[in-house]
Structure 1
Amino acid sequence: MPFGEQPAYLRVASDLRKKIADGSLPPHARLPSQARIREEYGVSDTVALEARKVLMAEGLVEGRSGSGTYVREVPAPRRIARTGYRTMSECTPFRQEQSDERVRGTWESHSEQEDAAPAIADRLDLAPGERVMRTRYVFRVDGDAAMLSTSWEPLSVTGRTPVMLPEEGPLAGRGVVERMAAIDLVVDNVTEEVGTRPGRAEETAALGGVPGHAVLVVARTFFAGKRAVETADVVVPADRFRIAYHLPVR
């Protein structure tokens, strides 16, 4: 193969991708069959199959058992704004992660105590095995799951206080900043690391995505001075969200 020339299956995939992008193959349209691709592009069955696999791996098409392969409808990405955290009562967990004020999100949560895994203990500056309160969230927009979050709070900080359970008690749902203020801890800084990885089976099932497709993960930790008081992983489908930062310059 001459230098710089694409393999045949990538050239076929590229042409089909262009047709999807320009609307020649609109959402829900059936992708040409393997035999049609072979005939139209003058390629082998193997090349046609590999081209279809590329488009499936990119999330542009999906297979339907006994029916064929169809173009997926990919929604326009929503923005997750990272501009700091407020302490007002409306700063709910969903509002901390969602920038569009027109969106009316809801969430479900479940909290339980557990021993801190080594990675979580490291983020919270705890000894492995120290007890933490883990809370899992499913955030929904118009009834559809849009975002997952798992938070961990050291019970050495919140245990036996009114804010031990993030979603119960007098400050339920008020957010980390306000809840910690209620136990005389001033949250004054936060760190975030943003990365991507393949979505785990349970994550993509909950979010209605394609198994193995990339998810964005925001690993966030709140501090009161140098003391970590909460760490969380926020997980969103990479094809549906963009992380948008707006930070002051000092």
Structure 2
Amino acid sequence: MPFGEQPAYLRVAEDLRRKILDGSLPPHTRLPSQARIRAEYGVSDTVALEARKVLMAEGFVEGRSGSGTYVRERPDPRLVVRTGYRPGSGQATPFRQEQADEGFKGTWESNSFQDTATARIAERLGIKPGDRVMRTRYLYRTEGEPMMLATSWEPLSVTGRSPVLLPEEGPLAGQGVVERMAALDVVVDNVAEDVGARPGLAEETAVLGGVPGHVVIEIRRTYYASGLPVETADLVIPADRYRVSYRMPVK
């Protein structure tokens, strides 16, 4: 096939995608049947089927058991704002502070338990596999809608036997990593976030909504104090409903 020439199934998918985006095929409309696609575009059953598979993989359509394939509703993505630590925020956690800036009402639920570091987490925290960590799982909501899952790990060599052992309990419950570490005279001076995308796992999409395999945004965040990692976390956000927006000060 000459360079730049699309296979027939991609040309069909592109035209159907255009109709979805311009409103010719609005949300909840049934996608043309395989026979109709075959007749309208002059293609084989195989091409028609592959074109439908492309649109389903891209999240433009969804199958409904015993009914057919329909155009999915695609709401305008809302923002998940990332601004980094800002001093003087009072009792607000970073999540609550950032979402408040956008006028959203954010809440979360969490649970913490002691665990052992896997090889992957140990490498990120600069500790040995099997070392003890505090693992905390979060579900964040914006105006009641699940919008982000997060799992954090803190080395017990830093927080063990201290008042801030549990991130969401004690005198600094919910204050965030910077404030909690400061109570131990550990000064957090840097944070790194690596952003990527991947198919969502079944257990993630079951909580966040959506279909297993749909793309999620994954942020791998690590807080440092003088080069020492004191917390690392994985944040998972549904890519079809949210967009990550960074607001970084210029110093």
Distance 2:101 2:49 in 1: 41
Q: Which residue of 2 aligns with 1:56?
A: 56
- 3-state SS, counterpart of residue 95 of structure 2: helix
Contact 2:85 2:94 in 1 (8 A): no
1:37 aligns with 2:37: yes
Distance 1:217 1:170 in 2: 30
Within 5 Å, give how 1:9-88 maps onto structure 2: 9-87=9-87, 88=89
Instruction: Calculate percent identity across the aligned residue pairs.
Output: 72
Q: Structure 1 residue 246: deviation in Å?
A: 3.3
Change (3 A) 1:155 1:240: same
Q: Which residue of 1 aligns with 2:105?
A: 104
Q: Structure 1 residue 80: deviation in Å?
A: 2.7
Distance 2:9 2:114 in 1: 51
Q: Which residue of 1 aligns with 2:246?
A: 245
Gaps of 5+ in 1: none
TM-score where L is the length of structure 1: 0.93
Within 5 Å, give how 1:214-233 maps onto structure 2: 214-233=215-234
Q: Structure 1 residue 115: deviation in Å?
A: 0.4
Within 5 Å, give how 1:131-146 maps onto structure 2: 131-146=132-147
- 3-state SS, counterpart of residue 70 of structure 1: strand
Aligned partner letter, 2:135 = R
1:4 aligns with 2:17: no
Distance 1:223 1:199 in 2: 28
- 3-state SS, counterpart of residue 203 of structure 1: helix
Distance 2:123 2:53 in 1: 39
Distance 2:4 2:123 in 1: 46
Query: What's the C-alpha RMSD, in Å, of the aligned pairs?
Result: 1.7
Task: Kindly tell me the number of residue pairs found equivalent between the two proteins.
Answer: 250
Q: Structure 1 residue 129: deviation in Å?
A: 0.7
Q: Which residue of 1 aligns with 2:161?
A: 160
Within 5 Å, give how 1:148-187 maps onto structure 2: 148-187=149-188
Contact 1:93 1:173 in 2 (8 A): no
TM-score where L is the length of structure 2: 0.93
Bigger Cα displacement from structure 2, 60-69 vs 178-187: 178-187
Gaps of 5+ in 2: none
Within 5 Å, give how 1:189-228 maps onto structure 2: 189-228=190-229
Bigger Cα displacement from structure 2, 114-123 vs 33-42: 33-42
Distance 1:77 1:17 in 2: 18
Aligned partner letter, 1:61 = V
Q: Structure 1 residue 210: deviation in Å?
A: 1.9
Bigger Cα displacement from structure 2, 204-213 vs 116-125: 204-213
Runs of 4+ that moved beyond 6 A? none
- 3-state SS, counterpart of residue 196 of structure 2: strand
